[in-house]
A and B are shown apart, each in its own frame.
Chain A
Amino acid sequence: MLVQVPGGWNPLLGRLAIDQIPYTNPILAPLFVAVVIGAVIILGLITYYHKWGYLWKEWLTTVDHKKLGVMYIILGLVMLFRGFIDGLMIRTQQVWANGPQSSGVFGAVHGYLTPFHFGQVYSAHGLIMILLAATPLLVGFMNIIVPLQVGARDMAYPYLNALGLWITAAAVALIMISLFVGDFAHNGWFGYAPIFELQYSPGVGVDYWIWTLELTALGTTLGGINLIATIVKMRAPGMTWFRLPIFTWASLSANIIALTSFPALQVALFLVACDRYLGSHFFTAGFGGNLMLYTNLFWIWGHPEVYFVILPAFGMMSEIFPAFSEKPLFGYITMVAASFAIAGVSWLVWLHHFFTMGAGPDVNSFFSVATMLVGIPTGVKVFNWAFTMYRGRITYTAAMLWAIGALFLLLVGGLTGMMLAIPAINYMVHNSVFVIAHFHSMLLVIVYAIFGSVLFWFPKVFGFKLDEFWAKTMFWLFSAGSVLVFVPMYMLGFMGQTRRLDYVFNTAWHPYLVTEEIGIAVYCLSVAAFFVLLYVSIRDRVKNRVGQDAWGTSRSLEWLTHSPVPFYNFAVTPHVNARDELAWRRHNGINEAQPTQYVDIHMPNNTGVAIYIGALTFVLGFALTWRMWWLCLLSLVAIIALMIVRSWRGDPGYIITAAELEKMEREAMQRQQQVEGHLPHHGGQAVPGGAMAYEGQKVSPLGTPPSSGGDHH
């Protein structure tokens, strides 16, 4: 052992001992029992219905980008729920532990959470919400939608895609197990030097935090590589850069940020690990360490990460607004330019997270102005969405409501962001709950865009629409919750309440804290509405089935194939003629054109290697956390061996013959006929200008051109 850790250590179990299991904790012990019972029930049901084979073959070993995307989204939604529960616990503690007269239970002087636990709860809340909820949700959507939008059969590297998912799942497993084995970090989701050093955090919490972050960073980097390669190399014929759907542009800009910034995080955390495991002094206060170096390194990743999550959300909004305004996105080129401007500036603003560090006014001025520059392209985007609605024909579906909600939240977040960008204002509200309210406004933009996207793309992936009534009910409840929680939070910021207080000293703030707690209750109702939404929609799925163009006003390439999307995406790769390909085809009357002939297609095989490696990275993370050196070595060797074996064998893939394909397509078209009441128009009808519906297939002259603009059903 290079460093002395308090408590025992033995060669077999490392720091793990029975007293590290919080079996006496009045909150965690019952929760653990509930989790075990829940797990037994789920595993029992899977066994009872003999679904293990199905689960293994269709989901756990899949390399299908849509199924991986769905699993990313399920993972993200589960963690969104866990993060919400953490948020609920934080709010409940603050409203309870308010003032010297407030009572305390469970070993806390005030409220029900001791500082030791409160620190863990808010650290887990932040880390989960940003990296294990928002990020997997967005990566999931990019996974599903981007290959469809560019007309590809799968991602560029299907196996890598699965690997990314399972490593992310390992990160999730690691942070979840920290609930019941040991504890979690209390240094905030971004960590602070030197509080995460061994002297101030002697437990395993910070180690859990390090390895959870390292794993999620690794998974996201792998995903980023894959998405960039897919967008650059896998576009359908005819899809020039300026015919790329806007969500794909947003994904490209976001993943360039991810690929370039996540390594900074991994290095920073690696250096933290060196401090904690090897006794180095990168970020200690003494021995030549520099604690602000950590903060700089972290935010050099951290701020680009913020745009990594917001840019795809902007892309989602840019898809939803045109579809339900029944007209093209206003200022497409401008929108693309704005995305890349945001991505570029994201590298120049990190210091605004710590204007209060004491840097000189020159440095602060630079980062202040650079930060405000972000407001320009963001403002452009807001205006463009507004002008997309202008002269449109707006349908207020639930998806559109979420997108509009996101737009208004962005206005609020933008207003408060421009306040924070000015150091002369920032000094007063930095580290206050005003900042919390600001970045929750911004992260809620993402959540709103995600729920809008769930509603918008759900029929594409599963073949039936979600129930509009319950989706709208959920929207209004969620929005009421957002107002009730975050308006008082902004006000408390103006009253000087700082963040992360496990005991709130000022009783004058009580009415506002109570209002926030009421907001949390309303949020709980919206969560309930979400479950009802799922139940009702699945119950009524036959009634709500849709054809390829679920909304009748959809615009981009993903709506050209069947709903649900077959595993091969497109039977024949479509030829792209226009920016909004489906809208263009609808306008030209060939939106239901089918290929005249099929050819063999080549698909990747399933593989269990990805989930094995994912499981081993979890073991590695767990072993590192508890300092079980033999297990670290064993899992690391196993990972490397698996990688070598897999690389050696490669994947020859398999062929779907044209005949098989035709059979599957015929069945899909019959299903569509049942939904839409007519068979899709066969044959490649021609369109003006020598355009093609499918690559390399003959086109015949078009009959009467459809009237302009009359493209609704």
Chain B
Amino acid sequence: MLAAAWAGLANAGIFWIFDPKGTMADTNLHYMIIDVVIMGAIVGITALLVIWFMWKYSKGKNRGKYDAHWSHSNTLEVLVWGIPIIAVGFLAYFAVKGTFEINPYNPTVITKHMAPKGDPVHVDVIATDWQWLFIYPQYHMAVANELVLPVHTPVFFRLTSTAVTSGFFIPQLVGMIDVMPGMRTKNALESDRIGVYQGIASDYAGAGTSWMTFPTKMVSKEDFQNWVSKVQASPKTMTYASFNRFAEPYINVNHRVVYFSNVESGIFDHLMMEVMNGKTWPLPPAMTENMVAYMQKQAAEHRD
């Protein structure tokens, strides 16, 4: 029954890593297949060899010749060193090639073919305790806890944190990148497949990490423009002062999404500099010792 359930689920597209929907994730899978084929062959053959020896040289079965002293063979020594050396040499080539192809700062799989695809979208990502703020500097707007992007368009991220270190990860679109306070990392993605893909905070950042998820919606270019207009019409705005309130610890159990229009330009760099100058948004001690009580307190503060 369990096996049947497994088989059913395996076909339901839940193996996100095997079901990439963007250029970056495609490339990850490509290298994974190369590696697993080469290493799987070696490991598989070795496993069979061991099993065969176990069968053949089992004591009392007299299947193989016993030699109490045999412990050296130059031929085998060459093989046991040679096979791993060749395999590692071969894989090293792919490892280096792949590292450059999906270098998060300049992924050649995207940038090499970028020109005909039109202008990229830039997104500045700020992780707080425990929300995501996605700033679209080109449109002077921002969205909390939801990422909407157009298909057929390269997207470039700059990422920082105003709290602790976390990770930015959309399994079907792009691999992980650390998001660190006082530092700026980069990432990029491109997809031509419309859909909603799960975004995850991939590094433990404290009590609210598990709820720090965000849907990533890949939409058509027209839908994206419509959505931009909608966000730009939001009554809520985001300035450095209002960010201070936003960045206070908040566990996003109800997956709240907020739109901000008229985002102060340069807020990303400004906040990063503030953090480098020592600005923090500290946590109260043992804040989720009783999480139910904490959630009631958070709700009472009317920040939802």
Do A286 and B276 have beta carbons less than 8 Å apart?
yes
Q: Which of B114-122, B142-150, B177-185, B228-236 contacts A (4 or more CB under 8 A)?
A: B177-185
Is B175 an interface position by the 8 A CB rule? yes
Q: Which residue of A lies closest to B295 (CB)?
A: A109
Chain B contact surface mostly: mixed
Number of interface residues of B (CB under 8 A): 117
Do B2 and A511 have beta carbons less than 8 Å apart?
yes
Do A425 and B84 have beta carbons less than 8 Å apart?
no
Q: Which of B74-82, B237-245, B260-268 contacts A (4 or more CB under 8 A)?
A: B74-82
Q: How far is the CB of B26 from chain A (nearest CB, A)?
A: 11
Q: How far is the CB of B200 from chain A (nearest CB, A)?
A: 5
A286 to B272, CA, bound (A): 10
Q: Which residue of A lies closest to B277 (CB)?
A: A286
Do A422 and B35 have beta carbons less than 8 Å apart?
yes
Q: B residues 136-182 with Cβ under 8 Å of A? A: 163-165, 167, 169, 171-172, 174-178, 180-182
A410 to B72, CA, bound (A): 23
Q: Say yes or no: A358-B290 contact (C-beta < 8 A), given A200-B282, A424-B28, A427-B176.
A: no
A512 to B276, CA, bound (A): 42
Is B194 an interface position by the 8 A CB rule? no
Do B204 and A119 have beta carbons less than 8 Å apart?
yes
Q: Which residue of B lies closest to A493 (CB)?
A: B17
Number of interface residues of A (CB under 8 A): 117
Do A495 and B282 have beta carbons less than 8 Å apart?
no
Is A469 an interface position by the 8 A CB rule? no
A432 to B28, CA, bound (A): 15
Q: Select one of A6, A104, A391, A508 contacting B66, CB under 8 A.
A: A391
Q: B residues 50-84 with Cβ under 8 Å of A? A: 50, 53-54, 57-59, 64-73, 76-77, 79-81, 83-84
Do B2 and A515 have beta carbons less than 8 Å apart?
yes
Is A415 an interface position by the 8 A CB rule? yes
Do B96 and A365 have beta carbons less than 8 Å apart?
yes
A325 to B253, CA, bound (A): 58
A587 to B202, CA, bound (A): 59
Is B210 an interface position by the 8 A CB rule? yes
Q: Select one of A203, A494, A708 contacting B15, CB under 8 A.
A: A494
A546 to B10, CA, bound (A): 53
Do A327 and B68 have beta carbons less than 8 Å apart?
yes
Do A195 and B205 have beta carbons less than 8 Å apart?
yes
Do A285 and B180 have beta carbons less than 8 Å apart?
yes
Q: Which residue of B lies closest to A422 (CB)?
A: B95
Do B58 and A396 have beta carbons less than 8 Å apart?
yes
A711 to B68, CA, bound (A): 9
Is A53 an interface position by the 8 A CB rule? no
Q: A residues 17-62 with Cβ under 8 Å of B? A: none
Is B88 an interface position by the 8 A CB rule? yes
Q: B residues 98-113 with Cβ under 8 Å of A? A: 98-105
B contact residues around A380 at 8 Å (CB): 80-81, 84
Chain A, 371-394, contact with B by CB distance < 8 Å: what is the 0/1 string?
Answer: 011011111101111111111111
Is A521 an interface position by the 8 A CB rule? no
B contact residues around A195 at 8 Å (CB): 164-165, 204-206
Q: A residues 464-507 with Cβ under 8 Å of B? A: 491, 493-496, 498-506
Q: Select one of B105, B279, B291 contacting A107, CB under 8 A.
A: B291
Do B17 and A429 have beta carbons less than 8 Å apart?
yes
Chain B, 194-238, contact with A by CB distance < 8 Å: what is the 0/1 string?
Answer: 000010111111111111010000000000000000000000000
Q: A residues 317-333 with Cβ under 8 Å of B? A: 325-332
Q: Which residue of B lies closest to A371 (CB)?
A: B95
Q: Select one of A291, A360, A418, A502 contacting B35, CB under 8 A.
A: A418
Do A116 and B16 have beta carbons less than 8 Å apart?
no
Do A326 and B204 have beta carbons less than 8 Å apart?
no
Q: A residues 346-402 with Cβ under 8 Å of B? A: 354, 356-358, 360-361, 364-365, 368-369, 372-373, 375-380, 382-396
Do B210 and A423 have beta carbons less than 8 Å apart?
no
Do B80 and A107 have beta carbons less than 8 Å apart?
no
Is A275 an interface position by the 8 A CB rule? no
A67 to B43, CA, bound (A): 40
Do B88 and A419 have beta carbons less than 8 Å apart?
no
Q: Which of A185-193, A436-444, A589-597, A661-669 contacts B (4 or more CB under 8 A)?
A: A185-193
Q: Select one of B14, B18, B77, B83 contacting A508, CB under 8 A.
A: B14
Do B176 and A418 have beta carbons less than 8 Å apart?
no
A contact residues around B209 at 8 Å (CB): 115, 500-501
A contact residues around B180 at 8 Å (CB): 285, 291-292
Do A391 and B64 have beta carbons less than 8 Å apart?
yes
Q: Say yes or no: A424-B68 contact (C-beta < 8 A), given A286-B275, A396-B58.
A: no
Q: A residues 284-339 with Cβ under 8 Å of B? A: 284-287, 289, 291-292, 325-332, 334
A contact residues around B12 at 8 Å (CB): 508
Is B32 an interface position by the 8 A CB rule? yes
A427 to B18, CA, bound (A): 14
B contact residues around A550 at 8 Å (CB): none
Is A697 an interface position by the 8 A CB rule? no
Q: How far is the CB of B98 from chain A (nearest CB, A)?
A: 3
Do B31 and A422 have beta carbons less than 8 Å apart?
yes
Is A545 an interface position by the 8 A CB rule? no
Q: Select one of A360, A383, A411, A425 contacting B103, CB under 8 A.
A: A360
B contact residues around A494 at 8 Å (CB): 15-18
Q: Select one of A119, A327, A361, A509 contacting B206, CB under 8 A.
A: A119
Is B258 an interface position by the 8 A CB rule? no
Chain B, 16-39, contact with A by CB distance < 8 Å: what is the 0/1 string?
Answer: 111000000101110110011001
Closest A-B pairs by Cβ, 10 of them: A427-B175, A424-B98, A286-B278, A496-B171, A379-B84, A285-B181, A107-B290, A285-B182, A115-B207, A383-B80
Q: List 10 A-B contacts (CB under 8 A).
A: A114-B290, A201-B283, A286-B279, A356-B176, A356-B178, A364-B99, A379-B84, A386-B53, A408-B50, A496-B16
Question: A residues bordering B, Cβ < 8 Å?
Answer: 6-7, 104, 107-109, 114-117, 119, 183, 186-188, 192-195, 199-203, 284-287, 289, 291-292, 325-332, 334, 354, 356-358, 360-361, 364-365, 368-369, 372-373, 375-380, 382-396, 404, 407-408, 411-412, 414-415, 418-419, 421-432, 491, 493-496, 498-506, 508-509, 511-512, 515, 587, 708-709, 711
With A192-B203, A200-B206, A428-B28 known, 4 other A-B pairs at CB within 8 A are: A358-B178, A430-B175, A498-B201, A709-B68
